[in-house]
């Protein structure tokens, strides 16, 4: 057990830091990293693109991807070292999670050489914003219940249907699209996975206002959208297993970023120390301390769990079900932490920060945003099912839709 870098890792870290120092400003002491962005400011998107392009140009993007596809052919350890170093700097929020975090690994696992060459290098350079067009009004947790249909017409698919809650679809250049190509077989067997150009005629992405007031997830209407068969990932009818790759990567990228929690706890302690009641600073209150400790223990537990995964991967062991733990724990932890921060301020906790920059963290926005982490990318309940069934090997629930053709499955509507 050794938390120090190996000599090679230390060299790599020093190089990464030196490069970052020449490129961006470090965070000031106590300064929080960029908050979660709803990308309503076009300048912010441009900054995100420019930063990704700069990294790719200098060879610091997409570490684990092969060099020929715009990566570095490096290790996941290098990737996490770079991410740790990058987190100490004032970098723009990342608009590429669906692309680099989800589309990239899915293409690497299921794409043909031609498809990889076509999309991956540009993705690494930040040339494309991607979105995930999976969920529908009738298919969220039960994703395989989706109804958006694609019918083959020569070398193309013609797609009709509606997607929902698609983050950044209004900004995206490309979409990961899961469609039903055969309603006469079981629900998982009739799905196909397509990559769709978001500028295609027949696509209409309409932003939906969220509880935070922002509007970066969308309803997307697809009417007679033509997608070349060359844009298909995997087999016709084999879309489910491709989608699982995307979902796995989505969960691990959403669950990572555990340092955010620990940084938040530091800010929470500062808030409790600076806020007084008749008995003194709230940091002297046992219940407050216990609640803060509960957040910190969970956030560190998530970080150290990722270190265990990292170590296992460096020994050639693939990541296991612990990947679902991070998102489950971190989502709940953030919600508790934000609620506690607002509680500490009594009624002032109901006042929206007029100047978020002056506050340590925009707690009110954080509180309103927190539920998203427990819903998007699989709800708490879905993750518990996954842990119960895949990590603990417990039997699945009986399925009323088993053995039925998709058409025959009851819908409740």
Partner 1 sequence: MNFDFDDDHRELQRAARALLDDRCTLRDVRSVFEGPAPFDADLWDAGAAMGWMGLAVPEADGGLGLGYLELCLVAEELGRALAPIPLSSSVYLGIEALLLAGSPDQRARYLPRLAAGELIATLAVQERRDRVAGFDLQTRFEDGRLHGVKAPVPDGECAGLAVVVANGGSTLALVELDGEGVRREPLASLDPSRSLARLHFDGAAAEVLGADGDGRHLLDRLYDRAAVLFAFEQLGGAQRCLDLAVGYAKERYTFGRPIGSYQAVKHKLADVFVAVELARSNAYYGAWALSTGSDELAIAACLARISATEAFQAAAEEGLHVHGGIGFTWEHDAHLFLRRARLLAVELGAARRWKRTLVHRLAARP
Ligand X SMILES: Cc1cc2nc3c(=O)[nH]c(=O)nc-3n(C[C@H](O)[C@H](O)[C@H](O)COP(=O)(O)OP(=O)(O)OC[C@H]3O[C@@H](n4cnc5c(N)ncnc54)[C@H](O)[C@@H]3O)c2cc1C
> 220: Cβ–Cβ under 8 A, 6 or more apart, which residues?
133, 162, 163, 164, 166, 169, 175, 203, 204, 205, 206
Give the single-character DSSP code of 390: I
Our CB check for partner 1 shows the closer of 112 and 314 to be 314
Shortest Å, Cβ 105 to partner 1: 22
- Three-class secondary structure assignment of 69-87: HCCCCCCHHHHHHHHHHHC
141 binds ligand X (CB under 6 A): yes
Which residues lie near partner 1 (CB under 8 A)?
1-6, 9, 77, 265-266, 269, 273, 283, 286, 289-290, 292-294, 296-298, 300-305, 307-308, 310-312, 314-315, 322, 325, 328-329, 381, 383-385, 387-389, 391-398
Find the farthest-apart pair of alpha carbons in the chain and give their distance in angstroms, rounded.
Answer: 77
> Residue 370 binds which one of ligand X, partner 1, none, with CB within 5 to 8 A depending on kind?
none
Shortest Å, Cβ 384 to ligand X: 8
Pinpoint the alpha helices (H) of 200-354.
239-255, 259-274, 286-314, 322-344
Shortest Å, Cβ 266 to partner 1: 7
For the chain, first and last CA: distance in Å?
56
292 binds ligand X (CB under 6 A): no
> In angstroms, rounded to a whole number, what is the distance separating the alpha carbons of residues 401 and 59?
48
- CB 361, CB 35: distance < 8 Å: yes
Our CB check for ligand X shows the closer of 166 and 324 to be 166
- CB 76, CB 63: distance < 8 Å: yes
Part in contact with ligand X (CB under 6 A); list of ranges 1-9, 183-191, 346-354, 377-385:
377-385
Shortest Å, Cβ 5 to ligand X: 35
376 binds ligand X (CB under 6 A): yes
∠ Cα 8 13 14 (to 5°):
100
Shortest Å, Cβ 313 to partner 1: 11
Part in contact with ligand X (CB under 6 A); list of ranges 17-25, 109-117, 127-135, 232-240:
127-135
> Residue 219 binds which one of partner 1, ligand X, none, with CB within 5 to 8 A depending on kind?
none
217 binds ligand X (CB under 6 A): yes
Shortest Å, Cβ 247 to ligand X: 9
249 binds ligand X (CB under 6 A): no
Verify whether residue 57 is a known catalytic residue.
Answer: no
> In angstroms, rounded to a whole number, what is the distance separating the alpha carbons of residues 116 and 113?
5
Site size for ligand X (CB under 6 A)? 18
> Residue 265 binds which one of partner 1, ligand X, none, with CB within 5 to 8 A depending on kind?
partner 1
> Residue 141 binds which one of ligand X, partner 1, none, with CB within 5 to 8 A depending on kind?
ligand X
Our CB check for ligand X shows the closer of 215 and 312 to be 215
148 binds ligand X (CB under 6 A): no
> Residue 156 binds which one of ligand X, partner 1, none, with CB within 5 to 8 A depending on kind?
none
> In angstroms, rounded to a whole number, what is the distance separating the alpha carbons of residues 53 and 197?
21
Q: Could you give the 3-state DSSP secondary structure of residue 45? A: helix
89 forms beta bridges with: 26
Instruction: Check 15, 86, 250, 278 and give the catalytic one.
Output: 250
> 338: Cβ–Cβ under 8 A, 6 or more apart, which residues?
363, 366, 367, 370
User: Among 405, 345, 382, 400, which residue's Cα sits nearest to residue 186?
Assistant: 405
- The phi-psi region of residue 58 (left if phi > 0; otherwise alpha if psi is between -120 and 50; otherwise beta) is alpha
> Residue 259 binds which one of partner 1, ligand X, none, with CB within 5 to 8 A depending on kind?
none
161 binds ligand X (CB under 6 A): no
Q: In the structure encoding, which two tokens stand for residue 87, read together?
A: 């987190």
246 binds ligand X (CB under 6 A): no
Near ligand X in 164-183, by CB under 6 A: 165-167
> In angstroms, rounded to a whole number, what is the distance separating the alpha carbons of residues 189 and 182?
8
Bridge-based pairing of strands 130-133 and 174-180 is parallel
159 binds ligand X (CB under 6 A): no
> Residue 372 binds which one of ligand X, partner 1, none, with CB within 5 to 8 A depending on kind?
ligand X
Our CB check for ligand X shows the closer of 69 and 130 to be 130
What's the half-sphere exposure (Cβ side, CA atoms, 13 Å) at 2? 5
Crossing angle of helices 322-344 and 363-375, rounded to 10°: 150
**Among all residues, which ones are annotated catalytic?**
250
Residues that bind ligand X (CB under 6 A): 131-132, 134-135, 140-141, 165-167, 217, 372, 375-379, 381-382
């Amino acid at each position: 057990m050794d938390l120090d870098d190996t000599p090679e890792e230390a060299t790599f870290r020093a190089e990464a830091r030196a490069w970052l120092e020449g490129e961006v400003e470090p965070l000031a002491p106590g300064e929080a990293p960029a908050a979660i962005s709803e990308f309503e400011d076009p300048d912010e998107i441009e900054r995100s693109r420019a930063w990704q392009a700069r990294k790719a140009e200098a060879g610091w993007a997409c570490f684990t991807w092969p060099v020929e596809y715009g990566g570095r052919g490096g290790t996941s350890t290098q990737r996490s070292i770079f991410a740790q170093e990058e987190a100490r700097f004032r970098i723009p929020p990342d608009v590429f999670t669906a692309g680099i975090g989800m589309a990239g690994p899915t293409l690497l696992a299921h794409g043909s050489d031609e498809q990889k060459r076509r999309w991956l290098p540009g993705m690494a350079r930040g040339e494309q914003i991607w979105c995930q067009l999976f969920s529908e009004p009738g298919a969220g947790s039960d994703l395989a219940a989706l109804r958006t249909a694609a019918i083959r017409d020569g070398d193309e698919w013609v797609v009709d249907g509606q997607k929902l809650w698609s983050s950044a679809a209004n900004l995206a250049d490309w979409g990961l699209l899961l469609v039903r190509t055969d309603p006469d077989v079981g629900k998982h067997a009739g799905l196909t996975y397509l990559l769709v150009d978001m500028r295609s005629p027949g696509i209409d992405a309409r932003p939906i206002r969220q509880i935070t007031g922002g509007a970066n997830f969308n309803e997307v209407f697809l009417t007679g959208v033509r997608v070349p068969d060359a844009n298909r990932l995997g087999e016709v009818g084999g879309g489910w297993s491709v989608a699982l790759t995307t979902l796995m990567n989505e969960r691990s990228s959403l669950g990572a970023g555990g340092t955010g929690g620990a940084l938040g706890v530091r800010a929470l302690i500062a808030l409790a120390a600076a806020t007084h009641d008749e008995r003194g600073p709230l940091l002297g209150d046992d219940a407050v301390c216990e609640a803060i400790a509960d957040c910190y223990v969970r956030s560190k537990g998530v970080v150290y769990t990722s270190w265990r995964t990292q170590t296992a991967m460096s020994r050639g062991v693939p990541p296991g079900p612990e990947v679902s733990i991070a998102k489950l724990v971190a989502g709940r932890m953030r919600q508790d932490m934000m609620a506690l921060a607002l509680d500490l301020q009594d009624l002032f906790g109901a006042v929206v920060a007029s100047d978020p920059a002056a506050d340590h963290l925009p707690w009110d926005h954080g509180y309103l945003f927190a539920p998203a982490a427990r819903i998007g990318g699989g709800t708490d309940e879905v993750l518990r099912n996954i842990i119960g069934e895949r990590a603990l090997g417990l039997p699945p629930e009986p399925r009323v839709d088993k053995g039925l053709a998709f058409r025959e499955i009851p819908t409740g509507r």
